[in-house]
Amino acid sequence: MWYIWDLSILLSVVSLVIMLFLIARRMLQERRGRAAADQRRQLLTALIAFTENRDREALKVRLLGVPAGIAIDAGFEFISLLRGEERDDVLVAFNECGLPARVGRQLQKGNVADRIHAAEMLAALGSEDASASLLSALAQDRSREVRIAAAIALCDLGSLPLLGTALDFIGVAGQRSRRLIELFRRFPRSRFNELAVHASRADASPFVRAAAIDALARAGGFGFADFFAGLAGDAAPEVVAAALRALGLTGHAQAPAILKRAMENDDWEVRAAAAESAGRLGFPELAAPLSRLMDDEVWTVRYAAANALRSFGQSGERLLREIAASEVSRSQRTASLILAEGPAL
């Protein structure tokens, strides 16, 4: 039993000693923190002055006069507020002071948060060797969040490798992140075909394929309508739902038939997506299948169908009123609820 007592005394004393050390460390940090805040304030003042007088030499003196970490941090925060010529001038000063090289080192040696931030800063600074540093991070960094951040930064710089290669680097676990949606949304128009190729790959994760379809639908326009129509028959429900939503944005000659078929799909998310797109496209021939869908067992589908009918305008409203006035049923209740939505009279 003695060892329980002895060990407890030892552990308590050790923990108290460590805590005292941390308190002392904190006192030192407080002092340094005040100095750093002063330097940061002075640098931001110099940056504001630069936008007025464009005295690059004065700015460089100030940039080199503060620790690199403060210069990088405050500098990035400041340039994110600037646009156009002003921003370009500040960037030139940053490049001449060697800040991108320091950020590059941070991308290699910082902790995960620092490395992600460094990737974002490199994209903003746009220096010559930024792409090489980011490519190396994309290929070699051990954190998937950093690899995704590097891919997004490379995309902004127009240096992203082939999408398949980039996704291989990001890894399977990283391909579940919603950050990929952001990556795809930043894709340049000239490389949309890569997104299309990936969206149609049956061996790729449905989440990634759906994200690619979403990005194409937002920016690709009608040019991809045939492609979306083809994917509406895919085996993965997530992909089909994304394709249907895309068709709702672009439209397609076969859209009514495709949506009508999708409204009978076994997966409720597909049925809901079909209803949503039907509402957006407003084809009158879809009113009947939509009114049937208002009897669906899943509320989300019923709600989407009723909403779609409502967006048809007067004809849809009329149909909803007829259903609401009919015998009590799921459709009748849904129609009543949708018609009542809004301020109570």
Q: Which residues bind other proteins (CB under 8 A)?
A: 1-2, 4-5, 7-9, 11-12, 15-16, 18-20, 22-23, 26-27, 30, 77, 80, 111-114, 116-117, 120, 145, 149, 176-179, 181-182, 185, 207, 299-300, 303, 306, 334, 337-338, 340-344
CB of 323 to other proteins, least distance (A): 14
C-beta of 169 vs 207, nearer to other proteins: 207
* CA-CA-CA-CA dihedral for 61, 65, 70, 73, to nearest 10: 10
Contacts of residue 182, defined as CB under 8 A and 6 or more positions apart, other chains included, come to 152
CB of 135 to other proteins, least distance (A): 20
CB of 68 to other proteins, least distance (A): 17
CB of 8 to other proteins, least distance (A): 4
CA distance 299 to 156: 41
CA distance 22 to 33: 16
C-beta of 124 vs 196, nearer to other proteins: 124
270, 244 Cβ separation under 8 angstroms: yes
Helix (H, G, I), strand (E, B) or coil at 83: coil
C-beta of 95 vs 177, nearer to other proteins: 177
User: What does the block give as tokens for 255?
Assistant: 């859209």
* CA-CA-CA-CA dihedral for 241, 244, 245, 250, to nearest 10: 160
C-beta of 141 vs 252, nearer to other proteins: 141
C-beta of 189 vs 330, nearer to other proteins: 330
CB of 178 to other proteins, least distance (A): 4
CA angle 152, 158, 161 (to 5 degrees): 75
